[in-house]
Amino acid sequence: MAAPGIAPPLPPGAARKLLLAGVTLISVKEHHHGVVTAVFGPLVRVQVGEETVVAPFRRRLRFLGAEEDLRLVVGDRVLLEGRPPQYVVTAVEKRTTVLVRRSPETGRPRVVAANVDQAVVVMATSSPEPNPRLLDRLLVACHAAGISPIICFNKIDQGTAGIDGWVGDYQDAGYPIVLTSARTARGMGALKRAVAGHTTLFCGPSGVGKSALLNAIHPGYKLREGTISEATGKGRHTTTTAQLLPLPGAGFVVDTPGVKEFGLWNFGPEELVGYFPDVARWAGQCAFADCTHATTTADCAVKAAVETGALSSRRYNSFLKLAEELARQR
Ligand SMILES: Nc1nc2c(ncn2[C@@H]2O[C@H](COP(=O)(O)OP(=O)(O)O)[C@@H](O)[C@H]2O)c(=O)[nH]1
Ligand SMILES: [Mg+2]
Ligand SMILES: [Zn+2]
């Protein structure tokens, strides 16, 4: 028994617990909620209510979810301390979705954006030439992230010859498709309806018209558009950082820099079939529960569908290539 007026000795660990409790108390004292709209090295732009602030972030940021990439990205919901306009970002709320790519430099996961619910994957019908293999990768990455993809073929004012041979593959797979021209505004009504009320990431190669489409959705964005070099047909990189923009009405859109490649992250070849809706449809009918739909010849419903033309051989080959790549990454 401790003598009256003298505090009993603290049990081991209690001081630390009190300290932690104290720290928690301090951090909940005066915090604000915001959403990251752009990241510039050590500073982030954050929407806090009606206000846009540029703030630094704590070196030891507290992530409230178990995240793979401990760096702030656009779309992150954050807690800030301080008083306007002197804020510091102290914590990051659990991310509901993350679109993750494997960094081509380090091989590590890099989150492109957090908390988006759908993605518009943009390809031009020409200049730059559409890249269906990259399109397949981006679609798979969206499925893996739990983000609904919409395919947008832009620049239809230049004709659709570049996609006529294979656009049907994506219709058969059940993807929503919009054909647009940011230049003539054709198809823009459908695209606007598709993004209204959602948080939508625009992704795809450089020069396909992502920024132009967003400017056509809302001219107030005044996003810089690239110029197409006549000689190479390649867009110049004008969007250098992703940014989150509020839509008039409700929702947000995210403009992203162009991607040349997109490394897949954090799932194995056996999950891939679930991310190819057209392959999955036939895989469900396959006689072998553990069929990889690749090497087996007899009774594979997927291979049979390719042979009869019910499943696109181009999509099937894309599936095989990605499955091999994922198996190598093991
Ligand atoms: N002909 C045509 N050109 C377009 C269209 N959309 C964008 N562009 C042009 O394509 C170039 C690249 O556009 P940009 O929006 O910067 O592409 P991003 O890199 O995907 O953001 C610019 O010169 C745009 O004017 C379109 O629908 N038709
Ligand atoms: Mg751009
Ligand atoms: Zn099979």
DSSP for 98-140 reads: EEEEE-TTT--EEEEEES--EEEEEEESSSSPP-HHHHHHHHH
Question: Closest ligand 1 atom, CA of 202?
Answer: 20
125 Cβ closer than 6 Å to some ligand 1 atom = no
Residues with CB under 5 A from ligand 3 (ion): 286, 291, 293, 300, 302
Q: Do residues 117 and 187 both lie within one domain?
A: yes
Q: Do residues 34 and 154 both lie within one domain?
A: no
Q: Do residues 151 and 235 both lie within one domain?
A: yes
Angstrom distance (rounded) from CA 117 to CA 204: 17
Question: If you search the block for the tokens 């590590």, which residue do you land on?
Answer: 108
Angstrom distance (rounded) from CA 187 to CA 262: 27
Q: Which ligand is nearest to the CA of 207?
A: 1
Which residue lies with its CA nearest to atom 8 of ligand 1? 209
**Mean pLDDT value across residues 146-152:** 97
The answer to whether residue 218 sits within a structural domain is yes
- What would the pLDDT profile of 40-52 be if each residue is shown by its tens digit? 989 999 999 989 9
Q: Do residues 119 and 228 both lie within one domain?
A: yes
Q: How far is CA 240 from the centre of its chain?
A: 16
pLDDT score at 155 = 98
- What would the pLDDT profile of 167-182 be if each residue is shown by its tens digit? 999 999 999 999 999 9
Question: Closest ligand 1 atom, CA of 255?
Answer: 21
pLDDT score at 100 = 96
pLDDT score at 242 = 94
Instruction: Among 64, 92, 120, give the residue marking a domain's end.
Output: 92
> Which has more confidence, 65 or 30?
65
- What would the pLDDT profile of 189-236 be if each residue is shown by its tens digit? 999 999 999 999 999 999 999 999 999 999 999 999 986 554 454 545
The answer to whether residue 8 sits within a structural domain is no
The answer to whether residue 15 sits within a structural domain is no
Q: Do residues 113 and 41 both lie within one domain?
A: no
Q: Do residues 72 and 156 both lie within one domain?
A: no
The answer to whether residue 300 sits within a structural domain is yes
Token pair for residue 223?
A: 């996003």
In testing the pocket of ligand 1, which one of 186, 211, 217 has its CB within 8 Å of the most ligand atoms?
211
227 Cβ closer than 6 Å to some ligand 1 atom = yes
Examine the pLDDT at 252 and tell me if it is beyond 60.
Answer: yes
Question: If you search the block for the tokens 């943009």, which residue do you land on?
Answer: 122
Total number of domains constituting the chain = 3
Q: Do residues 153 and 107 both lie within one domain?
A: yes
Q: Do residues 79 and 105 both lie within one domain?
A: no
**Mean pLDDT value across residues 6-13:** 49
Angstrom distance (rounded) from CA 124 to CA 212: 12
pLDDT score at 28 = 44
Token pair for residue 210?
A: 């992502």
Q: Do residues 55 and 197 both lie within one domain?
A: no
Q: Residue 229 belongs to a domain with what CATH number?
A: 3.40.50.300
Q: Residue 314 belongs to a domain with what CATH number?
A: 1.10.40.50
The answer to whether residue 60 sits within a structural domain is yes
Examine the pLDDT at 91 and tell me if it is beyond 80.
Answer: yes
Q: Do residues 104 and 240 both lie within one domain?
A: yes
Q: Which residue segment(s) compose the domain that 80 sits in?
A: 30-92
Handedness of CA 8, 9, 13, 16 (dihedral sign): positive
Instruction: Among 197, 227, 255, give the residue marking a domain's end.
Output: 255
The answer to whether residue 11 sits within a structural domain is no
The answer to whether residue 264 sits within a structural domain is no
Instruction: Among 69, 92, 115, give the residue marking a domain's end.
Output: 92
Q: Residue 46 belongs to a domain with what CATH number?
A: 2.40.50.140
Which residue lies with its CA nearest to atom 2 of ligand 1? 155
Q: Do residues 275 and 238 both lie within one domain?
A: no
Angstrom distance (rounded) from CA 73 to CA 260: 20
Output the CA 144–ligand 3 centroid distance in Å.
21
pLDDT band for position 288 (cuts 50, 70, 90): confident
Q: Do residues 151 and 214 both lie within one domain?
A: yes
Angstrom distance (rounded) from CA 129 to CA 125: 7
Output the CA 298–ligand 3 centroid distance in Å.
9
What is the pTM (predicted TM-score) of this model?
0.88
Dihedral of CA atoms 182, 183, 184, 188 in degrees, nearest 10, equals: 10
Give CA angle at 99 (97, 103), nearest 5°: 145
